Amino acid sequence: MNQKLTVKPLPLTFLMLFLVFGPVGFGVFLYSRTEHLGEPALPVEIQFSTQWVNSEKLGERLVPCIKIRNTSDKAWKKLSVGLNEQFYNLGGMEVAASSEVSVPLESFISRNGSVRFPVGNRPIKHVIVFAQIHTGARGVSEFEINPPNESTPTDWLPPKKATTPRE
């Protein structure tokens, strides 16, 4: 005759706890033991400049812009630029090898999407450039802008030596 198998409440509780927290604990263990690889540095230089733009509403006009120079021998995809850790241009442009692209400062929008960058009213202290490099990874370079007389520098600027880990 078959006898019914029963599980007492206490062992059942421990079994359920193990089934729920076992995989979570294993994931936390693996995360704590895995080395953070970071992001590859993006071979880039920036320059603050002006550029003529043509719009149907306003006609041709001279606007301040930031020039991004690809100093590598490989093309980039999905270029994004951030100003002062608050305003971003997510144009997704492609940049050919050893070429430049200009991004008007008026095209930068705040993170929540409601405010455009106030050109001429706010100094630019920090620039971060993101792009997808030829390996498919996201390359990142950060720039600290500290001109001696609070004016906007017009020379090509190299990135800081190392990028900080993104959170």
Task: Give the E-state strand segments of 10-95 in sequence order.
Answer: 44-55, 59-70, 76-83, 87-95
Confidence class for position 27, pLDDT limits 50, 70, 90: very high
96-130 pLDDT per residue, tens: 988 998 888 888 888 887 888 888 778 888 889 98
Residues sharing a CB contact under 8 Å with residue 88, sequence separation 6 or more, in sequence order: 80, 81, 82, 108, 109, 110, 111
Question: What's the whole-number mean pLDDT along residues 131-148?
Answer: 84
Question: What's the whole-number mean pLDDT along residues 131-158?
Answer: 78
74-97 pLDDT per residue, tens: 999 999 999 988 898 887 888 898
Name the residue among 2, 84, 80 with its Cα closest to residue 42.
80
What's the pTM? 0.67
